[in-house]
């Protein structure tokens, strides 16, 4: 599970921003919201970010996606640019390095072990890259990579069992514009400590969902599995759609075999009988299609205990459906995590849905830089009768200046 994501000089965030999933000491809805990995490690299942348009919410989702994509991407050659964007609204940040780190816990048997992966880079090269873990109270290095004269120098930790020949081969493969993980993936070797982290970052950190994301492909694959199909179908039915079945079909075209989804609707006829009608996705509402795709992704993260970031969760969805998705996720999840951005302040009015430490805000300064801060930074929250009204009236910032 992710404990913290920290980044600086990325997109609209010039200064360091920290997004934490560490739960505070509140017992509020603890059984639904908090996963206690060890006695002193309590992590939240969900984070919700509010903010005005262009305040930086979507850029946090982009940071999450960049972390995932950079780890495994292999450039075509050493001249290819890294797809990182620094803060562009001043004359100094553009020439400075960007930084990010992700802290997370993986289970080693009965024990939860903390890992921290950190990278310092710009568009042309990786300046520094480290992966550490905590087998005890003290950190130990898995690898540390530096760049000297545009050449990667990789040093492995003392606890890591790896031959000199493998070290040299990984170093040789590691161009200055790629990650150590990507180089490792090209070498015929198995380093347990790296493999464990690589599997987490590739299989349990899911691709982020934007309002324009097409989710059909993921959903079409999911409904080929009966258990996933049943979950998605129940999701749609409980969300008040009259869909009785979903099927994935194949059609031969001049471009090859194409998958498409058919939705079966059950309606009551004037004689009181059930009639069934089948339609392709083209005839369905945007809300139905998006719910179908979201249900498939939520089912997947529940199955994998994975992390998923969704930008503007309210896109094409009724407010009550957003509440339903969150409530159902909290009840069904084990160690899965959701990060959502939204404008829907109705969530703040639902006293039995979110905790105060779930809530974050983004705001843009006069110089164009974004800042991220938690609701728990504000004092006297227990004396506020309605967080929703307080937010609407600008008590927490992160609203448009109209």
What mean pLDDT do residues 5-32 have? 97
| pLDDT score of 240 | 73
| pLDDT score of 136 | 87
How confident is the prediction for the chain on average, in pLDDT?
92
Q: What is the pLDDT of residues 214-253, one digit of tens each?
A: 777 778 888 888 888 999 998 888 877 889 999 888 777 7
Domains, the chain, with CATH or none: 1-206+307-402 (3.40.50), 212-305 (no CATH)
Q: 402 pLDDT exceeds 80? A: no
What mean pLDDT do residues 163-175 have? 95
What mean pLDDT do residues 87-93 have? 95
Q: What is the pLDDT of residues 173-192, one digit of tens each?
A: 999 999 999 999 999 999 99
Percent of the residues in the chain that have a pLDDT greater than 90, as a whole number: 72
What mean pLDDT do residues 2-22 have? 98
CB-based burial of residue 373 (10 Å sphere; 0-12 exposed, 13-18 middle, 19+ buried)? middle
| pLDDT score of 214 | 79
């Amino acid at each position: 599970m992710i404990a913290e994501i920290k980044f600086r000089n990325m997109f609209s965030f010039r200064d360091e921003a920290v997004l934490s999933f560490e739960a505070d000491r509140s017992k509020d809805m603890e059984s639904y919201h908090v996963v206690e990995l060890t006695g002193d490690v309590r992590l939240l299942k969900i984070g919700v970010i509010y903010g005005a348009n262009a305040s930086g919410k979507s850029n946090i989702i982009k940071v999450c996606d960049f972390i995932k994509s950079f780890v495994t991407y292999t450039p075509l050659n050493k001249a290819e640019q890294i797809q990182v964007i620094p803060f562009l609204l001043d004359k100094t940040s553009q020439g400075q390095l960007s930084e990010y780190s992700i802290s997370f816990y993986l289970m080693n048997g009965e024990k939860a072990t903390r890992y921290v992966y950190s990278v310092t880079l710009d568009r042309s090269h990786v300046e520094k890259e480290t992966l550490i873990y905590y087998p005890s109270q003290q950190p130990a290095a898995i690898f540390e990579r530096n760049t000297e004269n545009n050449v990667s120098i990789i040093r492995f930790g003392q606890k890591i069992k790896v031959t000199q020949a493998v070290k040299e081969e990984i170093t040789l493969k590691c161009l200055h514009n790629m990650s150590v993980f990507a180089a490792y993936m090209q070498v015929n070797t198995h380093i347990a400590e790296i493999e464990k982290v690589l599997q987490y970052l590739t299989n349990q950190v899911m691709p982020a969902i934007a309002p324009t994301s097409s989710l059909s492909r993921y959903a079409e694959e999911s409904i080929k599995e009966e258990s996933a199909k049943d979950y998605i179908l129940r999701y749609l039915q409980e969300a008040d759609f009259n869909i009785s079945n979903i099927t994935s079909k194949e059609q031969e075209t001049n471009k090859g075999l194409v998958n498409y989804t058919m939705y079966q609707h059950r309606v009551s006829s004037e004689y009181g009988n059930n009639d069934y009608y089948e339609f392709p996705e083209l005839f369905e509402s945007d809300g139905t299609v998006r719910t179908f795709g979201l249900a498939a992704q939520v089912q997947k993260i529940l199955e994998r205990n994975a992390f998923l970031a969704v930008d503007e969760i309210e896109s094409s969805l009724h407010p009550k459906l957003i509440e339903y998705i969150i409530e159902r996720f909290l009840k069904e999840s084990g160690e899965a995590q959701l990060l959502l951005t939204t404008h829907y302040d109705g969530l703040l009015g639902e006293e039995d849905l979110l905790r105060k430490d779930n809530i974050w805000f983004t705001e843009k300064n006069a110089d164009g830089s974004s800042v991220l801060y938690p609701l728990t930074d504000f004092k006297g929250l227990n004396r506020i009768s309605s967080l929703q009204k307080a937010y609407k009236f600008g008590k927490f910032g992160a609203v448009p200046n109209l």
